[in-house]
Amino acid sequence: MQITLVRGDITEQEVDAVVNAANSSLLGGGGVDGAIHRRGGPAILDECRKLRASHYGGGLPTGQAVATTAGRLPARWVIHTVGPVYSSSEDRSDLLASCYRESLRVADDLGVRSVAFPAVSAGIYGWPLDDAARIAVGTVRSTVTKVTDARFVLFTEDAYEAFERALNS
Protein backbone atom coordinates (compact mmCIF):
# COMPACT_ATOMS: atom_id res chain seq x y z
CA MET A 1 0.00 0.00 0.00
CA GLN A 2 1.20 3.49 -0.82
CA ILE A 3 0.58 6.01 1.96
CA THR A 4 0.70 9.68 1.01
CA LEU A 5 -0.04 13.01 2.66
CA VAL A 6 -2.04 15.82 1.09
CA ARG A 7 -2.53 19.29 2.49
CA GLY A 8 -6.01 20.31 1.46
CA ASP A 9 -9.73 19.67 1.49
CA ILE A 10 -10.86 16.05 1.81
CA THR A 11 -14.08 16.82 -0.10
CA GLU A 12 -12.01 17.48 -3.24
CA GLN A 13 -10.22 14.11 -3.30
CA GLU A 14 -10.79 11.92 -6.34
CA VAL A 15 -10.68 8.54 -4.61
CA ASP A 16 -12.94 5.52 -4.33
CA ALA A 17 -13.86 6.39 -0.73
CA VAL A 18 -13.54 9.32 1.63
CA VAL A 19 -13.52 8.62 5.36
CA ASN A 20 -15.72 10.91 7.41
CA ALA A 21 -14.88 11.74 11.01
CA ALA A 22 -18.56 11.46 11.92
CA ASN A 23 -20.42 11.90 15.14
CA SER A 24 -22.37 8.93 16.45
CA SER A 25 -25.73 10.30 15.29
CA LEU A 26 -24.63 10.02 11.63
CA LEU A 27 -26.70 13.16 11.00
CA GLY A 28 -23.90 15.60 10.20
CA GLY A 29 -22.04 18.03 12.37
CA GLY A 30 -19.09 20.39 12.20
CA GLY A 31 -15.55 20.08 10.89
CA VAL A 32 -14.89 17.29 8.40
CA ASP A 33 -18.37 15.83 8.98
CA GLY A 34 -20.11 19.10 8.14
CA ALA A 35 -17.91 19.71 5.09
CA ILE A 36 -18.62 16.23 3.68
CA HIS A 37 -22.37 16.59 4.19
CA ARG A 38 -22.46 20.10 2.68
CA ARG A 39 -20.40 19.23 -0.39
CA GLY A 40 -21.88 15.75 -0.87
CA GLY A 41 -25.45 16.94 -0.63
CA PRO A 42 -28.65 15.43 0.75
CA ALA A 43 -28.10 11.89 -0.58
CA ILE A 44 -25.51 11.25 2.16
CA LEU A 45 -27.83 12.42 4.93
CA ASP A 46 -30.71 10.40 3.46
CA GLU A 47 -28.66 7.19 3.62
CA CYS A 48 -27.37 8.06 7.09
CA ARG A 49 -30.95 8.48 8.31
CA LYS A 50 -31.88 5.08 6.87
CA LEU A 51 -28.88 3.42 8.52
CA ARG A 52 -29.71 5.06 11.82
CA ALA A 53 -33.35 3.95 11.61
CA SER A 54 -32.55 0.36 10.64
CA HIS A 55 -29.33 -0.41 12.54
CA TYR A 56 -27.98 2.40 14.68
CA GLY A 57 -30.90 3.91 16.57
CA GLY A 58 -28.62 4.62 19.51
CA GLY A 59 -25.91 5.92 17.20
CA LEU A 60 -22.90 4.35 15.53
CA PRO A 61 -20.55 3.08 18.26
CA THR A 62 -17.16 4.72 18.70
CA GLY A 63 -14.48 2.95 16.67
CA GLN A 64 -16.94 1.44 14.18
CA ALA A 65 -17.46 2.35 10.51
CA VAL A 66 -20.27 2.23 7.96
CA ALA A 67 -20.56 3.34 4.32
CA THR A 68 -22.98 5.48 2.34
CA THR A 69 -23.03 7.01 -1.09
CA ALA A 70 -20.74 9.99 -1.63
CA GLY A 71 -23.47 12.05 -3.25
CA ARG A 72 -21.89 14.93 -5.18
CA LEU A 73 -18.36 14.29 -3.89
CA PRO A 74 -15.78 13.14 -6.46
CA ALA A 75 -15.62 9.80 -4.60
CA ARG A 76 -17.94 6.82 -4.86
CA TRP A 77 -18.39 6.17 -1.13
CA VAL A 78 -18.21 7.89 2.22
CA ILE A 79 -17.05 5.67 5.06
CA HIS A 80 -18.31 7.18 8.32
CA THR A 81 -16.35 6.40 11.49
CA VAL A 82 -16.84 7.72 15.00
CA GLY A 83 -13.62 8.69 16.71
CA PRO A 84 -13.17 8.80 20.45
CA VAL A 85 -13.02 12.03 22.42
CA TYR A 86 -9.50 12.40 23.83
CA SER A 87 -9.05 11.75 27.53
CA SER A 88 -5.86 12.39 29.47
CA SER A 89 -7.09 10.07 32.24
CA GLU A 90 -8.12 7.08 30.10
CA ASP A 91 -6.19 5.42 27.27
CA ARG A 92 -8.62 5.38 24.34
CA SER A 93 -5.98 4.81 21.63
CA ASP A 94 -7.44 1.36 20.86
CA LEU A 95 -10.71 3.04 19.85
CA LEU A 96 -8.88 5.53 17.61
CA ALA A 97 -6.93 2.71 15.95
CA SER A 98 -10.21 0.83 15.47
CA CYS A 99 -11.58 3.75 13.41
CA TYR A 100 -8.84 3.22 10.83
CA ARG A 101 -8.97 -0.60 10.89
CA GLU A 102 -12.76 -0.65 10.59
CA SER A 103 -12.69 1.94 7.78
CA LEU A 104 -10.25 -0.26 5.86
CA ARG A 105 -12.43 -3.32 6.54
CA VAL A 106 -15.46 -1.51 5.09
CA ALA A 107 -13.31 -0.36 2.15
CA ASP A 108 -12.34 -3.98 1.48
CA ASP A 109 -15.98 -5.06 1.66
CA LEU A 110 -16.80 -2.42 -0.98
CA GLY A 111 -13.87 -3.33 -3.24
CA VAL A 112 -12.29 0.09 -2.72
CA ARG A 113 -8.66 0.60 -3.77
CA SER A 114 -8.13 4.27 -2.87
CA VAL A 115 -9.12 5.92 0.41
CA ALA A 116 -8.72 9.45 1.78
CA PHE A 117 -8.57 9.77 5.57
CA PRO A 118 -8.88 12.86 7.74
CA ALA A 119 -7.12 13.19 11.09
CA VAL A 120 -9.86 11.40 13.05
CA SER A 121 -10.43 12.82 16.55
CA ALA A 122 -7.70 15.47 16.13
CA GLY A 123 -10.13 18.36 15.76
CA ILE A 124 -12.94 19.16 18.15
CA TYR A 125 -12.47 15.77 19.89
CA GLY A 126 -9.14 17.12 21.17
CA TRP A 127 -6.69 14.34 20.35
CA PRO A 128 -3.09 15.69 20.36
CA LEU A 129 -1.90 15.84 16.75
CA ASP A 130 1.37 13.95 17.13
CA ASP A 131 -0.30 11.08 18.97
CA ALA A 132 -3.27 10.99 16.56
CA ALA A 133 -0.85 10.90 13.62
CA ARG A 134 1.27 8.13 15.16
CA ILE A 135 -1.81 5.97 15.80
CA ALA A 136 -3.33 6.67 12.37
CA VAL A 137 -0.21 6.01 10.31
CA GLY A 138 0.83 3.00 12.39
CA THR A 139 -2.60 1.41 12.16
CA VAL A 140 -2.98 1.95 8.41
CA ARG A 141 0.56 0.63 7.82
CA SER A 142 -0.06 -2.52 9.84
CA THR A 143 -3.58 -3.37 8.61
CA VAL A 144 -3.82 -6.10 5.99
CA THR A 145 -6.06 -4.68 3.26
CA LYS A 146 -6.72 -4.67 -0.46
CA VAL A 147 -6.51 -0.86 -0.48
CA THR A 148 -3.50 0.20 -2.55
CA ASP A 149 -3.69 4.00 -2.12
CA ALA A 150 -4.22 5.43 1.36
CA ARG A 151 -3.88 9.15 1.72
CA PHE A 152 -4.19 11.35 4.74
CA VAL A 153 -5.75 14.67 3.80
CA LEU A 154 -4.82 17.30 6.36
CA PHE A 155 -6.51 20.65 6.46
CA THR A 156 -3.90 22.57 8.50
CA GLU A 157 -0.15 22.87 8.23
CA ASP A 158 0.23 21.69 11.85
CA ALA A 159 -1.69 18.49 11.07
CA TYR A 160 0.32 17.91 7.90
CA GLU A 161 3.60 18.30 9.78
CA ALA A 162 2.47 15.90 12.54
CA PHE A 163 1.51 13.27 9.99
CA GLU A 164 4.75 13.84 8.10
CA ARG A 165 6.72 13.15 11.29
CA ALA A 166 4.70 9.97 11.89
CA LEU A 167 5.10 8.78 8.31
CA ASN A 168 8.88 9.34 8.39
CA SER A 169 9.45 7.62 11.73
Catalytically annotated residues? 33
Q: Note whether 66 and 80 are within 8 A (CB).
A: yes
Rounded to whole angstroms, how far apart are CA atoms 50 and 55? 8
Provide the residue type at 66 as one letter: V
